[in-house]
Amino acid sequence: MHKDSSAIIVITVILAILGILVGYSVEGLRSNLQSFLIKQFILIFIGGGCFITLLFYDYHKLFKPGNLWILTIICLLGLIAVLFFGELRNGARRWLNIFGVFSLQPSEFAKIAVLVTITWYFSRFYNKLKKPHYGIVFPILLALVYCMLIVLENDQGTPTVIMTTVLCMMFVTGIHRKYLLIGTGIFGCGFAFAVISKPHRIDRIIYTWFPEWDPSGKGWHIIQSLVSFYRGNLLGVGIGAGEQKLDYLPEAHRDFPFSIIGEEMGMLGAVLVVILFLLLIYYGFEIARKSPDLQGSLLATGITCMIGIQGIVMMLVNVGILPVKGMCLPLISSGGSSFIANMIMLGCLVNIGFQEVRTESPSYWKAFVFLNLSNPLK
């Protein structure tokens, strides 16, 4: 087994265990323990099953026209269905209630569809990417189809992660820097407009940086999150012994899992999580660099960026640098759809690592494209 793939497997297992501990602390001790254990067993069974299956499923099959169309249609139908039939929670309509048994969040699986579609597009039209419409217009439009549907769910965090990941994939592919700057500018203007158009989003940013201006109101969540790290000190108060999750932090198991770790496992636990995500990013990029073909390099880069960016964003949210996004900390936050989708992506990443090459390929789009050096498109 290759070193990079083995490292990803170990990191995935550790993060999943941390997620179970956080869930046990927040949900298991406050509700029915038996119900919590059953839920976790089902998630591990489904997520782990997807992960193991994709270890041995050749990722090239994802790009076959039939599989690509099925994935695209299912995800788009899910995103459309949630707009009409989705559950409304905390002002957002992101979840589909399936027969009253469980809830499904289509936007989490839409991330996979975007990665596969953009990877297929860049590999299919690689030799035409020096043309503006191929290099910037079409890929951004492909991603925007998903992002606009997700924005209609009142979710701005997920589209931000998706578009940032697509821009990273554009950079990796070696698109001319002029087009990359144009794409970044379009995304930046769209993001700025989305923030300015809703006054409460501006307030959220302001009170994230200056929570002391309204400590019992809009700054309450950030202050309580920071208190979690203060209470945890170096070694933490112990798993299950934290107090901040007791109605001080709303949706603690989803929006503030890093704070819970900081309180109950201390600074050492928080640093461990940071190191794990940094290692995941490092080994993910190593797999992308060593991939035997362009599709593997692009898909591995996209998966690494998607999970890495979301992980970093959520940790910055919990320490009061970024406003609350309503997203999950990958593999740690409570959320079945997020857990399963991340396990699928990581299974694909490990599968790509299994097929890595030990020597540099003479193909012009190999490692140098990943490093954006010696780029033939320029």
pLDDT given for residue 343 in this prediction: 95
49 versus 179: the higher-pLDDT residue is 49
**Per the domain annotation, does 123 fall within a domain?**
yes
User: How far is 275 from 315, CA to CA, in rounded Å?
Assistant: 12
pLDDT in tens, 98-126: 776 678 889 999 999 999 999 999 988 88
For residue 265, the enclosing domain spans 3-370
Closest C-alpha to 252, from 92, 22, 62, 30: 22
pLDDT given for residue 225 in this prediction: 87
pLDDT given for residue 32 in this prediction: 66
User: How far is 5 from 349, CA to CA, in rounded Å?
Assistant: 8
Residues 6+ apart with CB under 8 A from 362: none
Mean pLDDT, residues 201-216:
81
The fraction of the chain above a pLDDT of 90, given in percent, is 34
**Per the domain annotation, does 303 fall within a domain?**
yes
Q: Which alpha helices (H) appear in the chain, and where do they start and end? A: 3-23, 33-55, 65-85, 106-124, 132, 138-151, 157-173, 177-196, 199-209, 220-232, 252-255, 257-264, 266-290, 294-318, 336-354, 367-370
Report the domain count for the chain: 1
pLDDT in tens, 332-360: 987 788 999 999 999 999 999 888 654 44
**Per the domain annotation, does 81 fall within a domain?**
yes
Q: Is-contact 221 254, C-beta < 8 A?
A: no
**Using 50, 70 and 90 to split pLDDT, how confident is the model at 153?**
confident
**Per the domain annotation, does 376 fall within a domain?**
no
pLDDT in tens, 237-275: 888 878 777 777 777 777 888 999 999 999 999 999 999
Q: Is-contact 337 321, C-beta < 8 A?
A: no
Residue 366, pLDDT above cutoff 80 = no
Residue 278 tokens, joined: 């940094």
Q: What is the dihedral of CA 178, 187, 296, 11, to 10 degrees?
A: 130
Overall pTM surpassing 0.85 (yes/no):
yes
**Using 50, 70 and 90 to split pLDDT, how confident is the model at 86?**
confident
**Per the domain annotation, does 375 fall within a domain?**
no
Residue 367, pLDDT above cutoff 70 = no
